[in-house]
Structure 1
Amino acid sequence: MINVTIWNEFVHENKDAAVKAVYPNGIHTALSQGIQHDDFNIRTATLDEPEHGLTEETLNQTDVLIWWGHVAHDRVSDEVVARVKQRVLDGMGLIVLHSGHFSKPFKALMGTSCDLKWREAEEQEIIWNVNPSHPIAEGIGEKIILDHEEMYGEFFDIPTPDEIVFISNFEGGEVFRSGCTFRRGRGKIFYFRPGHETHPTYFHPGVLKVIANGVRWACPAPGEKLQFGHAPQPVRKFAKGSAV
């Protein structure tokens, strides 16, 4: 069983009628229902909960954390950000969705601005599968077509990804590295671009399948916690001054 925590700031849905019409119970609820599988144990957390719902106990029990944020990045506690970052370094998987590219945890783990070009418009996005043998792309086919999405365009200021799984193109001619993987410490990170709050993207079966595949890929492998710091002196094989 994979323990999944879905984090959503849950701000748009409470303030914007257009977003509430698409996600009346929140993006986190749509994701929870959309990716539910027998091998997933899913909980949700939101910004206004104590410690943003990401207590040490919760994170210690989380195999994979899914993150969606947009207008309240600055309201996320630095203490919680440090906690999330350390859990990733210790092995927790992290899936960052859409505007979560500008979230504090993602920027802390990438070490760059994570900035990009964008255009909020009603235009088609084609998400091309450019790494079909990758586990995240399993069962996706050559592309996913979204009739209406927000445009993200290059340059995307991230470190060179370990792998690029998907590349998107938009009606305006822009392209974007829309599915990228990274490794930090023992943790695996997957950034997946689609998911603007005014579009029903998180009801699309292809998008949901990618996210579910990402959860399984990012799930930590068994192994001991990495050890750093001072190492003890080695045991000498021969007494000092003895002949070899």
Structure 2
Amino acid sequence: MNVLVWNENRHEQTNQVVADLYPEGIHGTIASFLKSDDVTVRTVTLDDEEHGLTEEVLNETDVLVWWGHQAHDEVEDEIVERVKQQVLEGMGVVVLHSSHFSKIFKSLMGTSCDLKWREADEKERLWVVDPSHPIVEGIGEYIELEKEEMYGEHFDVPPPDELIFMSWFEGGEVFRSGMTYRRGKGKIFYFRPGHETYPTYYNPEVQKVIRNGVKWVKSTDNTTPKYGNAKPLETISEKE
């Protein structure tokens, strides 16, 4: 399986807290726990040529993991359409944290993807609401994070195909923190935790969920449907 981790890589250059927390970049940290004997991981960033998302690179990608926050508008629309087409053709995508506002996620959802938010060092408890799902294999009833950014409802996204996590925050809000969608032949997993100033991506349970999510959204060799004018499979009798 070939995994591509995309990160805008801007906070790491401008915020010393983030630079100290993720010295290899958020993309480097995510890549480090995704790599295995059967998973090859490559990282690219916003400032790479074509944002690192060339046709050649995407054609070799089974799963795209996306992290963005402050530079969503800098992603070129042509590249967004290219990524979207790859998803429709079967490439899986894992959308993390503030990437809910990325152009690619909003394009795939068709909504504003807006929400409430607050930075107040709040405890977050992510409750597993679909214990049968492969994405939560190896996870208990909930994941507890000591400090995280709050995201609160209403989250303006379409009803998910599957709701996997529901978060509760210390300030009282709740949030749909783990959801799956299908678009064309592609599968999408949105997973909420991961604010850049917290060590969330070092949490073993968060890492396990992302690894499970990557496996679940992996592209398949399923037949691509044919569209347009179709010849009949059977002989059609002429009407008198």
TM-score range, shorter chain: over 0.9
Where structure 2 has 5 or more consecutive residues not aligned to the other structure, the ranges are none
| Bigger Cα Rg | 1
Instruction: Give 2:105's aligned residue.
Output: 106
Q: Secondary structure at the match of 1:119?
A: strand
1:63 and 1:226 mapped to 2: Cα distance? 19
Q: Which secondary structure state, in structure 2, belongs to the residue aligned with residue 207 of structure 1?
A: helix
Q: Where does residue 59 of structure 1 map in the other structure?
A: 58
Amino acid at match of 1:99: S
Map 1:52-201 → 2, pairs under 5 A = 52-201=51-200
Query: SS of the counterpart of 2:127?
Result: strand
Q: CA deviation at 1:230?
A: 2.0
2:28 is aligned to 29
Query: 1:231 aligns to what SS in structure 2?
Result: coil
> How big is the shift at 1:241?
8.4
Query: What do the CA deviations read for 1:131-170 (whole angstroms, capped 9, x no partner)?
Result: 1110001001111111010000000000000000001101
Matched, 1:207 2:206: yes
5+ residue gaps, structure 1, are none
Percentage of pairs with the same residue? 61
Match of 2:157, SS state, is coil
SS at match of 2:194: coil
Deviation at 1:202?
0.5
Question: Residue 50 of structure 1 corresponds to which residue in structure 2?
Answer: 49
How far is the alpha carbon of 1:234 from its aligned partner?
5.2
Q: Deviations over 1:155-190 (max 9, x none)?
A: 000000000000110100000000000000010000
Q: How large is the RMSD of aligned CA atoms in angstroms?
A: 1.4
CA contact (8 A) 2:115 2:151 kept: yes
Q: Which residue of 2 aligns with 1:11?
A: 10
Residues 34 and 202 of structure 1 are in contact (CA less than 8 Å); yes or no, is this contact kept in structure 2?
no
Alpha-carbon distance in structure 2 between the residues aligned to 1:80 and 1:17: 30
Deviation at 1:35, TM superposition (A): 2.1
- C-alpha distance in 1 between matches for 2:8 and 2:225: 31
CA distance in structure 1 between the aligned counterparts of 2:224 and 2:149, rounded to whole angstroms = 40
Q: Is the 8 A contact 1:35 1:209 kept in 2?
A: no
**Aligned 8 A contact 1:90 1:226 in 2:** no
- Call closer, same or farther: CA 1:134–1:241 in 2, change over 3 Å: closer
Structure 2: how far apart are the matches of 1:180 and 1:234? Answer: 38
Structure 2 residue identity aligned to 1:46: T
One-letter amino acid of the structure 1 residue matched with residue 212 of structure 2: N
TM-score (norm. length: structure 2): 0.97
**Paired AA for residue 195 in structure 1:** G
| 2:9 partner amino acid | F
